[in-house]
Amino acid sequence: MSTSYNPLYDPETDGPVIVPPLHRAIAQARKVLDEKAQANIHDRDAMIRAACGLDYVLRDLLAALDAKENGQ
């Protein structure tokens, strides 16, 4: 199935390259969440940047949690 847009995340090409340590992933997620909370909800570009930034740190956080759960 073909789409007329590029998805925010494509598991075929956007998988984690380096899984950060859990403590670093948590700290980064908190930092980005605090930064993006200040974004202007009426600014389309700011919302796109917020979504991308939050997607990135959430995926890192989940990868770090998965690695810890699997004993890596």
- Tokens standing for 23? 């403590």
pLDDT single digits (tens) 49-70: 999 999 999 999 999 999 999 8
Total-model pTM = 0.80
Radius of gyration of the chain from its Cα atoms, rounded to whole angstroms: 14
Output the pLDDT for position 37: 96
Task: Say if residue 38 is exposed, middle or buried (CB neighbours under 10 Å; 0-12, 13-18, 19+).
Answer: exposed
**Domain boundaries along the sequence of the chain:** 22-69
Say if residues 28 and 34 touch (Cβ distance below 8 Å). no
